Amino acid sequence: MAQASTIEWTEATWNPVVGCRKVSAGCANCYAERMAKRLAAMATADLEAGRNPGKKAAYLHVINGAGRWNGDVYLDDSAVEAPLSWRSPKVIFVNSMSDLFHEDVPLKFIQSVFDVMNRCPQHTFQVLTKRPERTLEVSKRVTWTGNIWMGTSVENRAVVRRVHELRQTGAKVKFLSVEPLLGPIPRLPLTGIDWVIVGGESGPGARPMQAEWVKQIRDRCVAQDVPFFFKQWGGVNKSSTGRTLDGRTWNQMPSISAAL
């Protein structure tokens, strides 16, 4: 079964790859790293108790003794074809616990993941990367069916170049995850972009986000008719800060049918 997700802009997650390596400021308080640490600890407890840790065992390969990413990735071949058995249409976040375009994920494995997505027109797959330069490198060696949405993370002005790399890929739907938003990006490039998600950082050590930064991007999206999704204000306790912006929630998304 697909793993149901509490992430506001998706419905389920699919993780044929786990593990990562931090590459920019947005990675500092990685939520996936915190979750992987817990899962690795649970796997260790299961093994010590003589129980089968199941899928949790994968995280023992990617978390070091300090509870941090060790830089490795684990390819879960048994998970690659899972979406083929999911009959009910779903919106699926691909690799919430890794990056499909991590430099250590082989091209053939990326192609196998794309092959499954190509064969599942009933689902919409949301692929998000902090390595769009690798996405661009392999773009012509995969098939971009309309149900594959390709996004990149843009947490501050220092990584705006990622938008330009994303725009050159063959993806039919391209989106930006501006989360955690760490500073103003008043001239966020939106030409060729089909969707923008903005959110503040949450959890331990969350860095603050200013309302003006969010409104700059929202107003730019409205002016250029780009769907805008405001995920959260964030903070240590994100449930207390909510996700209302100027008195309303912003849940805009691209049309799934239009992308096919």
Q: What pLDDT score does 143 carry?
A: 98
| Average confidence (pLDDT) over 34-52 | 98
Residue 256 has pLDDT above 80, yes or no: no
CB 44 within 8 A of CB 125: no
Separation between Cα atoms, residue 242 and residue 177, nearest integer Å: 18
Q: Does 116 score more than 90 pLDDT?
A: yes
Model confidence at 240, pLDDT cuts 50, 70, 90, reads: confident
Contacts of 65 (CB under 8 A, 6+ apart): none
Residue 227: its pLDDT value, please?
A: 98
> pLDDT value at position 193?
98
pLDDT tens sequence across 53-74: 999 999 999 999 999 999 999 9
pLDDT confidence band for 174 (50 / 70 / 90): very high
Tens of pLDDT, residues 93-103: 999 999 999 99
User: What is the reported pLDDT for 152?
Assistant: 98
Give the mean model confidence (pLDDT) for residues 154-161. 98
Q: To the nearest whole number, what is the mean pLDDT of the chain?
A: 96
Residue 187 identity (one-letter amino acid): R
In the predicted structure, residue 259 carries a pLDDT above the cut 70: no
**In terms of Cα–Cα distance, which of 75, 74, 163, 69 is closest to 111?**
75
pLDDT-derived band of residue 257, with 50, 70 and 90 as boundaries?
A: low
In Å, what is the CA distance from 159 to each residue of 25, 99, 124, 186, 217?
Answer: 9, 17, 27, 13, 16
Give percent above pLDDT 70 in the chain. Answer: 98
What domains can be seen in the chain, in order of their start residue?
A: 3-17+75-259 (3.80.30)
Q: Return the pLDDT at 191.
A: 98
- DSSP result, the chain: --EE---TT-SEEE-SEEB----SGGGTT-HHHHHHHHHHHHHHHHHHTT---GGGGGGGGTB-TTSSB-S--EE-GGGTTGGGG--S--EEEETTTB-TT-TTS-HHHHHHHHHHHHT-TTSEEEEEES-HHHHHHHGGGS---TTEEEEEE--SGGGTHHHHHHHTS--SEEEEEE-S--S--TT---TT--EEEEE--BSTTPPP--HHHHHHHHHHHHHTT--EEEEE--BSSHHHH-S-BTTB--B----HHHH-
- Look at residue 127 and give its three-state secondary structure: strand
